[in-house]
Chains A and B, each alone.
Chain A
């Protein structure tokens, strides 16, 4: 019995020593990160080196970030939400989870690159495109798709992958693009066919289909051009990138300050830094399109004036996401 008491005291000491250390952490900037870990580290290391501020980040999809920020609203754990389609940022702003902040920039930010009240700002952009495996194209004797309807080509039967529109900003942008072009009903009719004929599987993350196409798991994937270049073409996968001739949608990468976050001053400093020429030049490595006009565009990158874009309404897409997703799930059943 004595021993048992001794052991339990040990447990108690363990537990309480733990609780005290938790509250003795140093001052750092906490970021919720929607870039992939590797890419995020590339930017954040540069920021840390330049400013001497320590950053701690956790990588999640933009959907996960939003869920986390919402769950933690009573006690926010991070200050900055870095990257992810602005659609999710717009959604968060409409729930009052973000702190408006107008970043100090050396150039004027156009209206499409920020919320009216500056709850979020856009710091890069990129268009939706198709990524196709050249070996499979050759084997099937098909051309890389250059139109949305090419995706229904029997050669691509059960050979297309993309993310779930409800888990990925990329896939939702694709869906919202089609709705803005054809209206909801027509889009769902088309998608039903597309889902039955062509889709092999939906992935969780928007970029998941790129290596799938690269590996020949599928013939075609649908993703953002910068991701296709960075994760497909530049990695050495046998893939080509094409765009739909009818027009395509594009994303604006969002950046925002979380309401009630623990380090607002450091957070503002980070957001300002993201718009500097130096920071925007870093996008070359990952083929994202910078918004700072002085920054250099990455080699091979497709700028937004080289593809046919639709007049994509980000605000509409963000504000109607819940309803549009519900319609999609009700019809497609997935």
Chain B
């Protein structure tokens, strides 16, 4: 049989499989339709708008961007910021992951928790804390400026600092998983053969974790390049692309050129995503043999212990300092002028922000289960079923991770403020534009959770249960469900967190009826009402923590002792 023949046979076989399950076919078509409408269509609209000036096809936007310093400079700035933050974040993440997986550092759980804490808070809270601490009126400023002279937190330096704190934890999670999967026995073996600790690190540990490091670097690069909240607050005269695209649209009323800037932002992030997904991820040297052995190496020289421990304690201190500052700031009467402690900010926050808080809770609560279920279903199709377009489905649904929120937001206002042939509803101004945006933006999280869950189930386990006499419903209840549930719920937890703390895309689609807490916080910051902003940020963090504990409780009930899944790719 020739190659072409075999291919044709395979396709026919797949078609036949599908044909046997018509309902499945309907679902596949439905999902493709949703992906088309809510992922590709908005992107297409941004692209189209960037090419149309005064209702005519025109390349002038692109020419302008490459000929005007004030358009091109932000692009370079964003790249510089992305590279620096990714490098700093990856180093930080690696040191932390190394300390926790490879050294007998005490309080491992505690360190792991503080290292991941910034992930569950809205990213721009870090920038807010940076102003409270290091702004010209900041608490530490008099002290610090005596040491290093006059400085400004507004600009590249400050941004790299906050992006590292905000997104370094993502690098930590990736590298923690990677280092955990590298069997310490390999390193033990090298040491037994006489290699020094440094040599083992340089020739065994580091080479094995290179793909993980590259992955972590690219993920932090994507996140900090696309970040909107922090630069919006802290960029000063260091102008970055995500903010400039926003200002171009909201300040210059120029959607067409704003879209062009957004496309410019899309190029590096999507490129990084491609490299991460199709090159780095495939180069993984980690052999998954099952459970990690858990053996940690106890023979450690001081010159390894000391700097890693110091780095861990230092970063943990920084996290406490930053978030502690937000708590402290939220009780001050007039930040920077009158430090009398008061509850007034909380009262005012509730008066002004009650509606925002409930709206945020509502849209997140609606979006989260749908994100989880849809993600689980797509994961199921991609992993267990064969059909034409399977890889396309996976690709498109994971793509949203790489598309900066700014681009998505612009795309949604362009795509859904009128009826179109593809989609006969107007979503602008409703809760549904926010909900669908959250669903499709967070879907990669749901899919990751789904894939992780399904991979944990070996079909033979279910077969064994059936062989022992359980019917399929009992098997599902007693075997499948407990195994899926923990991963599914961690996926839910993370999509809820992402929904509650989203800002970059959301800021374009909020409306009078539906406005969200993150947008309100950014408004307070823009007004320099730092105390109120701090109070509201704190409330948001508390809500998220409560929601997480509830989900944790549910997971504990359903799947005893099951591991939670990693929440980033």
Residues of chain A whose beta carbon lies under 8 Å from any beta carbon of chain B: 1, 3-5, 7-8, 10-12, 14-15, 18-19, 22, 25, 30-32, 36-38, 41, 56-61, 63-64, 66-68, 70-72, 74-75, 77-78, 91, 164, 166-168, 199-205, 207-208, 210-212, 214-218, 231, 235-238, 325, 329-330, 332-334
Q: A200-B152, A215-B336, A334-B70 are in contact. Are A22 and B237 (CB under 8 A)?
A: no
Instruction: Give chain B residues whose Cβ lies under 8 Å from the Cβ of A91.
Output: 253
B558 within 8 A of A: no
Q: Please state if B250 and A201 are interface contacts (CB–CB under 8 Å).
A: no
A-B pairs with CB below 8 Å: how many?
Answer: 165
Q: A166-B247, A201-B236 are in contact. Are A18 and B69 (CB under 8 A)?
A: no
Q: Please state if B414 and A71 are interface contacts (CB–CB under 8 Å).
A: yes
Docked CA distance A289–B23 (Å): 67
Within 8 A of A (CB), among B350-397: 351-352, 366, 369-370, 373-374, 376-377, 380
Instruction: Give chain B residues whose Cβ lies under 8 Å from the Cβ of A77.
Output: 428-429, 511-512
B550 within 8 A of A: no
Docked CA distance A313–B377 (Å): 61
Instruction: Give chain B residues whose Cβ lies under 8 Å from the Cβ of A57.
Output: 512
9 shortest interchain CB distances as A-B pairs: A211-B528, A167-B251, A77-B429, A64-B250, A58-B512, A215-B137, A56-B512, A215-B336, A217-B136
Docked CA distance A70–B250 (Å): 11
Instruction: Give chain A residues whose Cβ lies under 8 Å from the Cβ of B247.
Output: 164, 166-167, 204
Instruction: Give chain B residues whose Cβ lies under 8 Å from the Cβ of A205.
Output: 526-527
B255 within 8 A of A: yes
A-B contact pairs, 12 of them (CB 8 A): A11-B370, A32-B512, A60-B250, A67-B249, A71-B414, A75-B418, A91-B253, A164-B247, A204-B251, A207-B527, A216-B136, A333-B73
Q: Please state if B251 and A58 are interface contacts (CB–CB under 8 Å).
A: no
Q: Please state if B526 and A208 are interface contacts (CB–CB under 8 Å).
A: yes
Docked CA distance A19–B416 (Å): 14
Q: Which of B121-129, B205-213, B430-438, B460-468 contacts A (4 or more CB under 8 A)?
A: B430-438
B154 within 8 A of A: yes
Q: Please state if B413 and A71 are interface contacts (CB–CB under 8 Å).
A: yes
Instruction: Give chain A residues whose Cβ lies under 8 Å from the Cβ of B69.
Output: 333
Q: Please state if A208 and B70 are interface contacts (CB–CB under 8 Å).
A: no
Q: Please state if A334 and B237 are interface contacts (CB–CB under 8 Å).
A: yes
Instruction: Give chain B residues whose Cβ lies under 8 Å from the Cβ of A31.
Output: 512
B135 within 8 A of A: yes
Instruction: Give chain B residues whose Cβ lies under 8 Å from the Cβ of A214.
Output: 336-337, 528
Docked CA distance A1–B511 (Å): 40
How far is the CB of B236 from the nearest CB of chain A, in Å?
Answer: 4
Instruction: Give chain B residues whose Cβ lies under 8 Å from the Cβ of A204.
Output: 232, 247, 251, 526
Q: Please state if A19 and B425 are interface contacts (CB–CB under 8 Å).
A: yes
How far is the CB of A198 from the nearest CB of chain B, in Å?
Answer: 12
Report the nearest B residue to A330, measured CB to CB. Answer: B68
Q: A201-B236, A237-B337, A238-B337 are in contact. Are A167 and B528 (CB under 8 A)?
A: no
How far is the CB of A261 from the nearest CB of chain B, in Å?
Answer: 12
- Residue of B27, B425, B429 with most partner-chain A CB within 10 A: B429
Instruction: Give chain B residues whose Cβ lies under 8 Å from the Cβ of A25.
Output: 513
Instruction: Give chain B residues whose Cβ lies under 8 Å from the Cβ of A200.
Output: 152, 154, 236-237
Q: A22-B431, A71-B414, A164-B251 are in contact. Are A59 and B523 (CB under 8 A)?
A: yes
Q: Please state if A56 and B435 are interface contacts (CB–CB under 8 Å).
A: no
Q: Please state if B512 and A78 are interface contacts (CB–CB under 8 Å).
A: yes
Q: Please state if A37 and B251 are interface contacts (CB–CB under 8 Å).
A: no
Candidates A61, A199, A215; contact of B528 at CB < 8 Å: A215
* Further contacts, 4 of them, CB under 8 A, given A77-B429, A210-B528: A64-B250, A72-B428, A208-B527, A334-B239
Instruction: Give chain A residues whose Cβ lies under 8 Å from the Cβ of B366.
Output: 14, 18
Report the nearest A residue to B135, measured CB to CB. Answer: A217
Contact pattern, B 516-558, Cβ under 8 Å of A = 1, otherwise 0: 0000100100111100000000000000000000000000000
Q: Please state if A18 and B417 are interface contacts (CB–CB under 8 Å).
A: no
Q: Please state if A333 and B352 are interface contacts (CB–CB under 8 Å).
A: no
How far is the CB of B241 from the nearest CB of chain A, in Å?
Answer: 14
Docked CA distance A67–B508 (Å): 10
B338 within 8 A of A: yes
B470 within 8 A of A: no
B515 within 8 A of A: yes
Docked CA distance A87–B374 (Å): 47
Instruction: Give chain B residues whose Cβ lies under 8 Å from the Cβ of A207.
Output: 527
B59 within 8 A of A: no
Docked CA distance A203–B232 (Å): 9
Q: Please state if B255 and A67 are interface contacts (CB–CB under 8 Å).
A: yes
